[in-house]
């Protein structure tokens, strides 16, 4: 077995256990299927079409309602679990390297998370690259956030924002943008699932984790970053929030797999957020891959989603000081 050469650590008392047999089996199944679906060398439309096949094999928790809506001019859908508190909302920003993914591709994951949080979830279908490059996705997510507050009357203290991978970067870009604009209040908390925070790809894990990552390789991510950015500097703070001023952001939890090339995107984000005075915490899950939380068949994925959901629920039930 190759030496992973990484020290696994989580904040606080919780320490994730090493990956079990089920996870190791799923890891190999994912490795076999992934290049058929997300290979950056495939035409973007081919990848999107293949990913859409997953929309039909996911199962929602019983009683979940899905309702299309136009939110601030952006197509979106409400995912509403049974017994959701109408006063709570979760804005979920899907991943897909800025070129793929949709509310449908993430619907089952969002439904499970919303059920744990006890909230309605809104998932925007933001514009994708390369047809719509930076900052289109940031603008769309910001328009949806404004719609929730101004037209839906959502109290930001009863609103959390979560995103995975590219959606994790957009989650942070949204918070930075809202803080800098000053006209809207920030959400209560942020959840970042393997967030892509450094499109310049400078993290050490881009090299050290490449032999183990089942999803992405540095060269492929560089292709995706250029499709999204065009000629924009990859260290632009709203494209790569790792380089943003993180002061005064809401409490955040970042979860990432040990074997993710984006491991250091989460590590360095939390380090810089803490240095800026943000209540930021990190969970690194041993032997886990990129956005492993979405695979409900894996015990560690279910546990990680429960922990993320409880973090968000806790902040929604605590009044701000």
Residue 241 resides in a domain: yes
Range name among 35-44, 106-115, 277-286 with the lowest pLDDT average = 35-44
- Clarify whether 236 is annotated catalytic: no
Predicted confidence band at 5 (pLDDT cuts at 50, 70, 90)?
A: very low
CA dihedral defined by 192, 257, 241, 317, rounded to 10 degrees? 20
> What's the confidence (pLDDT) of residue 280?
98
> What's the confidence (pLDDT) of residue 47?
78
- CATH code of the domain containing 145: 3.40.50.1820
Residue 10 resides in a domain: no
> What's the confidence (pLDDT) of residue 66?
97
Residue 139 resides in a domain: yes
Domain that holds residue 163: 21-317
- Clarify whether 125 is annotated catalytic: no
Residue 302 resides in a domain: yes
Q: Is the pLDDT of residue 138 over 60?
A: yes
Residue 256 resides in a domain: yes
CA atoms within 13 A on the CB side of 152: 24
Rounded to the nearest 5°, which phi and psi values hold at 92? -110, 130
- Clarify whether 23 is annotated catalytic: no
- Catalytic member of 94, 106, 290, 315: 290
Residue 229 resides in a domain: yes
> What's the confidence (pLDDT) of residue 22?
66
> What's the confidence (pLDDT) of residue 52?
74
Give percent above pLDDT 90 in the chain.
75
Tell me how many domains the chain contains: 1
- Catalytic member of 165, 177, 205, 266: 165
Helices (H), 251-298: 263-275
pTM equals 0.91
Task: Tell me the three state secondary structure of residue 30.
Answer: helix
Predicted confidence band at 320 (pLDDT cuts at 50, 70, 90)?
A: low
CA dihedral defined by 298, 101, 112, 30, rounded to 10 degrees? -10
Q: Is the pLDDT of residue 241 over 70?
A: yes
Residue 84 resides in a domain: yes
pLDDT 10s digits, 117-134 = 999 999 999 999 999 999
> What's the confidence (pLDDT) of residue 55?
65
- Catalytic member of 198, 260, 264, 265: 260
> What's the confidence (pLDDT) of residue 319?
65
> What's the confidence (pLDDT) of residue 9?
42
pLDDT 10s digits, 29-76 = 666 566 556 677 778 888 788 777 666 556 888 899 999 999 999 999
pLDDT 10s digits, 243-264 = 999 999 999 999 999 999 999 9
Residue 262 resides in a domain: yes
């Amino acid at each position: 077995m190759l030496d992973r050469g990484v020290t696994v650590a989580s904040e606080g008392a919780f320490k994730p256990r090493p990956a079990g047999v089920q996870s190791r089996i799923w890891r190999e199944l994912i490795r076999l299927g992934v290049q058929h679906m997300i290979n950056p060398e495939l035409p973007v439309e081919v990848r999107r079409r293949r990913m859409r096949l997953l929309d039909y094999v996911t199962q929602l928790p019983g009683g979940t309602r899905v309702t299309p809506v136009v939110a601030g001019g952006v197509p979106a859908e409400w995912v509403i679990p049974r017994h959701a508190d109408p006063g709570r909302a979760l804005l979920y920003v899907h991943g897909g390297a800025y070129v793929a993914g949709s509310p449908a591709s993430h619907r089952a994951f969002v439904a499970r998370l919303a059920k744990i949080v006890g909230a309605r979830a809104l998932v925007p279908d933001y514009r994708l690259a390369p047809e719509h490059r930076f900052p289109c996705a940031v603008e769309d997510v910001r328009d949806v956030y404004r719609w929730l507050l101004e037209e839906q009357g959502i109290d930001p203290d009863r609103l959390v924002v979560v995103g995975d991978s590219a959606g994790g970067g957009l989650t942070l870009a949204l918070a930075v943008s809202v803080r800098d604009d000053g006209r809207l209040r920030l959400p209560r908390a942020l959840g970042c699932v393997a967030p892509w925070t450094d499109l310049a790809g400078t993290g050490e894990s881009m090299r050290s984790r490449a032999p183990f990552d089942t999803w992405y390789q540095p060269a492929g991510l560089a292709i995706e970053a250029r499709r999204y950015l065009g000629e924009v500097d990859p260290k632009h703070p709203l494209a790569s929030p790792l380089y943003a001023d993180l002061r005064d952001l809401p409490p955040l939890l970042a979860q990432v797999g040990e074997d993710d090339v984006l491991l250091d995107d989460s590590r360095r984000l939390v380090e810089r957020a803490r240095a800026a005075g943000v209540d930021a915490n990190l969970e690194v899950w041993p032997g886990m891959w990129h956005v492993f939380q979405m695979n409900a068949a894996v015990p560690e994925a279910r546990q990680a989603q429960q922990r993320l959901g409880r973090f968000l629920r806790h902040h929604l039930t605590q009044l701000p000081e």
